[in-house]
Amino acid sequence: MCLVFLCGEDEKVLGTHKAPGSCPYCGGAVMATDVETSRRLCFLPLCHKIKRKFSCTRCVRRLVANL
């Protein structure tokens, strides 16, 4: 039996830019943020992922892109 305990997850913002479209809730502009997440087991890095998160600039809601 193998037990894995994660000691932390760090997020680092790589950049932001305006995304096409508008917010379906308030009609505000959509901002795309590129975020690098890294999970680590104590001090050993396990994996790095780069994600793109979308949010509204007016109502500050987190938006989900349906591709």
Contacting residues for 34 by C-beta, under 8 A, at least 6 apart? 13, 14, 15, 16, 50, 51, 52
Q: How many beta carbons lie within 10 A of that of residue 65, not counting itself?
A: 11
Whole-prediction pTM: 0.73
Q: pLDDT for 11-66, tens place per residue?
A: 899 999 999 999 999 999 999 999 998 887 776 777 889 999 999 999 999 999 77
- For the chain, the distance separating the N- and C-terminal CA atoms, rounded to the nearest angstrom, is 39
Domain locations in the chain?
A: 8-63
